[in-house]
């Protein structure tokens, strides 16, 4: 009879422990999904724009509307330009013909950085150095009122 009261306590305690672990894991996965948190490695790139109004650290970087990275920093460069630092998932291929554009995300005014393929040589992949960084050379490309940049071709010096 003495084992019966302890079973009455241990059984519900084990069930509660399992419930707590499952709930904590589900909450963690939900928070990572809502927060767009990525636990994988990324490559870092930079883009130079004349206007980055509305872009903030943490905004999305997208290719064909799919989120592939995050804006990690904004800095003023040469007093007339802004340099965006952003990360891109290493499984996404960026070519020398890839352009970066700032686009509207919604009607509220949020923005995102779009990486689009432009005309040019798609045989040359951008390969970062040890840190995965490539500097984006400034080229003013007016498309639908958006000022963009292009990635440098291999061997370009600026």
Q: Does residue 4 sit in helix, strand or coil? A: helix
Return the closest-CA partner of residue 136 out of 116, 153, 118: 153
The pLDDT value given to residue 2: 53
What residues pair up with 43 in beta bridges, in sequence order? 88
pLDDT in tens, the chain (158 residues): 455 667 778 888 999 999 999 999 999 999 887 876 767 788 888 888 888 889 999 899 999 999 888 999 999 988 888 888 888 888 887 777 788 889 999 898 889 999 988 776 655 555 443 233 333 333 333 233 334 444 444 444 44
The pLDDT value given to residue 111: 92
The pLDDT value given to residue 145: 33
The pLDDT value given to residue 122: 59
Query: Residue 130 has which token pair?
Result: 């040890």
The pLDDT value given to residue 150: 44
Contact 111, 102 (CB under 8 A): yes
- CA within 13 Å, CB half, 60: 17
- Exposure pattern of 64-92 as b/e (b: 16+ CB <10 Å)? eeeebbbbbebeeeeeebbbbbbbbbeee
The pLDDT value given to residue 148: 45
The pLDDT value given to residue 78: 84
- Exposure pattern of 133-143 as b/e (b: 16+ CB <10 Å)? ebebbbeeeee
The pLDDT value given to residue 22: 96
């Amino acid at each position: 009879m003495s084992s019966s009261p302890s079973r009455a306590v241990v059984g519900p305690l084990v069930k509660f422990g399992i419930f707590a672990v499952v709930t904590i894991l589900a909450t963690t996965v939900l928070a990572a999904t809502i927060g767009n948190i990525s636990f994988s490695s990324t490559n870092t790139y930079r883009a130079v724009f004349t206007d980055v109004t509305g872009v903030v650290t943490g905004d999305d970087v997208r290719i064909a509307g799919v989120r592939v990275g995050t804006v990690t920093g904004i800095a003023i460069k040469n007093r007339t330009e802004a340099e965006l630092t952003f990360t891109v998932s290493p499984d996404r291929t960026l070519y020398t013909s890839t352009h970066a554009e700032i686009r509207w995300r919604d009607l509220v005014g949020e923005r995102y950085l779009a990486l689009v393929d432009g005309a040019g040589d798609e045989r040359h992949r951008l390969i970062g150095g040890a840190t995965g960084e490539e500097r984006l050379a400034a080229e003013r490309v007016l498309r639908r009122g958006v000022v963009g940049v292009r990635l440098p071709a291999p061997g370009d010096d600026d």
